[in-house]
Structure 1
Amino acid sequence: MKHFFCFALLLLSASTTFGQLTKGHWLVGGSGKFYSYKNEIVSSVSTENGQYTQIDLSPNIGYFLADKFALGIKSTISSIKGDFSTPSGGITGGSSSQRYLFGAFSRYYFLEEAKQTNILVEASYQAGIIRGLNNTKGNLNNFSIAAGPVIYFNPSVGIEFLLGYVTNYEKYTSQVLSENKNGFQFSIGLQIHLIK
């Protein structure tokens, strides 16, 4: 009997579940990303190759300007750890740093709102600052595009699973070097759709 009750509750909730994707509604939430990449750092005196892991937490708020299309602002706090070496094999080491970014995003949902699941695509641009070991400081720019499904628990709350590509340019002010990073990312997010 217990299993039948759970199944009936699930079936009932599935038939009434949808996202609020209508013009004039708000979108509030955030995501977490795991990003693994290889990079090359070029300075005036050397070149380094590295393997890094990055974890991001990104709260956001958006507004539906049209049905299924939202624009908003997003901030990101990143923690990066990894190891590097020079191509000649002479120097190896590890590093750790934090990044603080702020910018804008746009997203589009492909399916109608009266669905328990939907497919979305999101593009974002952010700029920010870097703080690392030994008083390392810098600036960065980040562009990403991602797509994937969103599954709604009720009329307002959904969980997202996004896979995408990110490109990142960093310029360190405390040293004469710059860094380009490109790679794939996977994020899980929770969004709340609010009625105006």
Structure 2
Amino acid sequence: MKKILLMSILFCSAINVLAQDEEKTINPTDKGHFIVDGSVYFSTNHSKSRESGFESKNKSFGFGISPKAAYFVIDRLAVGLETSFNYTENESTNSDNNKYTSNSKSVFVGPFFRYYLSNGLFGQASFGFGTSKSNSDGFKSSTDVFRYKLGLGYAIFLNQHTSIEPLISYQHNKNSSNESTFESTNNGFIFGVGFTIYL
């Protein structure tokens, strides 16, 4: 009887240890988990614009916020939806070397993809569509925008469910308007940091 009782205790203890080990191996980037992310970022861009045969050079500095949510469709790969709200200050120089300043507000929405490596590094790609409203010396205009971004980041896990994630991205924007022949492209780098919750 004592042997049966002792074996039962040892068996239950072994099951408990194995269960604890299994819990420890659960990774927040495993398939079936969700992430909710809020990022703040700063950007710098250089671009060229063409309208009615005239060209101008532009440079800008901006900042924005980018909330997003995603689902891990397989281990380490999350697919989700990103929205972005941006404010940008611009300076343009035309072919006569005259300078003009303006500011713009824009909003984007589109899918994004993020893949994590085991060491915390991750790659991210996204594209989106949106609108941009500009104000230049009292003259207001609106354009349609297509954008894509490619980035590299690092997840600093505070615990199993939260992380801080610095990120650097290359961004390409294409602005166009149905009301005129205006078209421009913007290329530049974005530096940001996100706070991510894993569910």
What amino acid does structure 2 have at the position aligned with 1:77? F
What amino acid does structure 2 have at the position aligned with 1:24? G
Flag structure 1 segments of 5+ consecutive residues without an equivalent.
1-15, 112-116
- Note if 1:153 corresponds to 2:158: yes
Q: How does 1:4-43 map to 2 (within 5 A)?
A: 20-43=28-51
Structure 2 CA distance for aligned equivalents of residues 61 and 53 of structure 1: 26
Q: Quote the residue 1:128 is aligned against.
A: 130
Q: Secondary structure at the match of 1:161?
A: strand
1:82-139 CA distance string (max 9 Å, x none): 21111221x321001111100000000010xxxxx61110000110011122330110
1:163-187 CA distance string (max 9 Å, x none): 1211111103444211111122211
Aligned length: 172
TM-score by length of 2: 0.81
Q: Quote the residue 1:50 is aligned against.
A: 58
Structure 2 CA distance for aligned equivalents of residues 54 and 41 of structure 1: 18
Q: Please say if residues 151 and 158 of structure 1, whose CA atoms lie closer than 8 Å, have aligned partners that are also in contact.
A: yes
Deviation at 1:36, TM superposition (A): 0.7
Q: How does 1:21-170 map to 2 (within 5 A)?
A: 21-89=29-97, 91-111=98-118, 118-133=120-135, 134-170=139-175
Deviation at 1:26, TM superposition (A): 0.7
What amino acid does structure 1 have at the position aligned with 2:68? N
Structure 2 CA distance for aligned equivalents of residues 135 and 156 of structure 1: 44
Q: Secondary structure at the match of 1:39?
A: strand
Q: Secondary structure at the match of 2:31?
A: coil
Q: Secondary structure at the match of 2:187?
A: strand
Q: Secondary structure at the match of 2:127?
A: strand
What amino acid does structure 2 have at the position aligned with 1:184? F
Deviation at 1:149, TM superposition (A): 1.1
Aligned-pair identity in percent equals: 23
Flag structure 2 segments of 5+ consecutive residues without an equivalent.
1-23
Q: Quote the residue 1:13 is aligned against.
A: none
Q: Quote the residue 1:189 is aligned against.
A: 194
Structure 2 CA distance for aligned equivalents of residues 160 and 34 of structure 1: 14
Structure 2 CA distance for aligned equivalents of residues 19 and 49 of structure 1: 48
Report runs of 4+ in structure 1 exceeding 4 Å deviation: none
Please give the root-mean-square deviation of Cα atoms over the aligned residues, in Å.
Answer: 1.6
What amino acid does structure 2 have at the position aligned with 1:146? G
Q: Please say if residues 82 and 96 of structure 1, whose CA atoms lie closer than 8 Å, have aligned partners that are also in contact.
A: yes
Structure 2 CA distance for aligned equivalents of residues 171 and 30 of structure 1: 28
Q: Secondary structure at the match of 2:29?
A: coil
TM-score by length of 1: 0.83
